[in-house]
Amino acid sequence: MSYIENMFSNQGKVALVTGSGSGMGVAFAHALAKSGAKVICAARRLDKVQQVADEINAAGGTAAALALDIGDTESVTNVFNCAEEVFGTVDILVNNAGQIQFKPFPDIDDEEWINLLNVNLTGTMRMAREFSKRLIALDKAGSIINVTSVTGMQTLKNVPCYGSVKAALNQLTKQIAADLFDTKIRCNAIAPGYFMTEMVDWYFETEQGQAEVARLPSKRIGDVKELEGALLLLSSQASSFINGAVLPVDYGHSVLLA
């Protein structure tokens, strides 16, 4: 293995990717498996993550599928227990699970607001907290990677709840890193721009969505595979001195909005 390959290798590590039944999570799970990690694919729909795990195993990687609802504390605890039984202690946590909402501010109701908070922010906190407790008890190193958004860095219309929650997640990332400075755990975030996934593809087919794409510096939507480099950087030894960072992967989208 060359020096570069070794730096970005996750050989011997166990990675847990939430929301890995679709979209970015699928790409993350495959990339981590290719870098040598044993991957736990986790999401609410077990059939979806089982399919991803089967694909990874068929390609020569190592993966298993577990059901997970990050909105439920017991489910979070259970997924780490099961992951340890299958592959051992989780070394890499990718907090990718989340929901999006396109709605003008005056039209948001309390239930929608609370649900988005519980999944996108509190759910991520639950996962990072359980992950951290277990590694601290073992005095073991680990990497937390939160998936935030360009909408948490700059204001965009019609995503007031989603953008606010992602901004809070950016701050939570920094706070987790600061509070864990005395441990061997690092916490960073990837802030994607516009990427084509099942969750938002319908939007970019609308007139408003097409207008948004036309304004982008890239003039196109990102391919989820273009997130893999940032993921492998933050998960591996290559980022051993990167902590508390929020890395935009948006071809300058956030710069344009600044």
Q: Is 106 left (phi over 0), alpha (psi -120 to 50) or beta?
A: alpha
Residue 63: strand, helix, or coil: strand
User: What are the structure tokens assigned to 143, written together?
Assistant: 């990497």
Q: Which helix (H) or strand (E) holds 188?
A: strand 185-192
Nearest to 151 by CA among 107, 101, 112: 101
DSSP states along 76-112: HHHHHHHHHHHT-S--EEEE---------GGG--HHH
DSSP conformational letter for 152? G
Count of CA atoms in the C-beta half-sphere (13 A) of 205: 7
- Cβ atoms 92, 79 nearer than 8 A: no
Catalytic residue flag (residue 162): yes
Of 162, 194, 203, 251, which one is the catalytic site residue? 162
- Cβ atoms 183, 132 nearer than 8 A: yes
Instruction: Point out the residues that are catalytic.
Output: 162
